[in-house]
Chains A and B, each alone.
Chain A
């Protein structure tokens, strides 16, 4: 198999760095270029010190980009759409890790991103990059819009119950707790260490941007409208969604087990985590750092029709770069777990 030639645009940020880390160890991929305007000409390890001695690659400027087989875009929101024609001209396949092409609906984009979409004509061309929901479409995809990290955790936790039609589709309340790396590597006053350390910061009690993609993906039978809040916690990596769903029928925990096993029994990167003993009985993002797993657990409230679903990921992996590599593997016909086999650490 000849190597797939891959370039990464916006490679000095956290998601870009994660992507470089993964692709350097991908047996069928050759990274040809990694761009950064700020670090152009400097070693990639300048921005990503974990890659010291691992690669001699240097950042280049976007202006120097050559054609390749697959182009990954890790740009700030809005940039991919604004310069789309230039990027699309460089590669037959593009995987965008930003939010630019996640939504189908222009009005939803305007509402959540407070802007008119620069290229609404392209919105229908992208496959939403969650393989567990869109694997078949990804096989033939030329353009992939990677899912948001909070959206990924929430959707993977809830999708089986929504697909089975056993919940009230408009009564779900989701609280996501996320680590600080989700905000990216640009500093602001709020990320200054003495202000940020030790915080439980309720940064998006309502109106979070990922709500639009969550609702679209969960509208399987009926129109879903999930009530979503996000809180920043004092962790670097990790996202965990605690979702309160309400059943529209009587189900036992065993019934719910079967619904999740039907959905995820053969999935390489979704694990059902629900144990009666041991130290880690429900999903724990700490154990997922650096892995591409989404762990999903649940508990039925014995005194009501509420089910609490707990789903956890590493926001930079399954929530971003890991999921992008999984999509690449599917698109190119590689084994889906290629370059994603790291099982995490314990203790950590």
Chain B
């Protein structure tokens, strides 16, 4: 299993997100910059999408 790091852009904020050979399709990853949850949509090549969000529980 390779551990070569691949840098992919966060789809929300454009920050660098590091993925490697241990990353699995469907895995959920938090972006360090914007804090959003990203889903690994594919692994060859790596693509990310925003993970489905849970129902909003935040008010004034």
Contact = CB atoms under 8 A, between A and B. Distances in A.
Interface of A: 253-255, 257-258, 261, 272, 274-279, 281
B8 interface: no
A254 B33 contact: no
B36 to A, nearest CB: 5
B14 A278 contact: no
B12 interface: yes
Contact of B14 (A257, A279, A281): A257
- How many chain B residues sit at the interface, stated as a range, is 10 to 19
Interface of B: 11-15, 33-37, 53-54, 58
B15 to A, nearest CB: 7
Nearest to A255: B14
Nearest to A259: B14
Given A279-B58, A281-B58, A257 B33 contact: yes
Contacts of A272: 33
B53 A276 contact: yes
24 contacts: A254-B11, A254-B12, A254-B13, A257-B12, A257-B13, A257-B15, A257-B34, A261-B13, A261-B33, A274-B13, A274-B34, A275-B34, A276-B12, A276-B34, A276-B35, A276-B36, A276-B37, A277-B35, A277-B53, A277-B54, A277-B58, A278-B35, A279-B58, A281-B58
A9 to B, nearest CB: 42
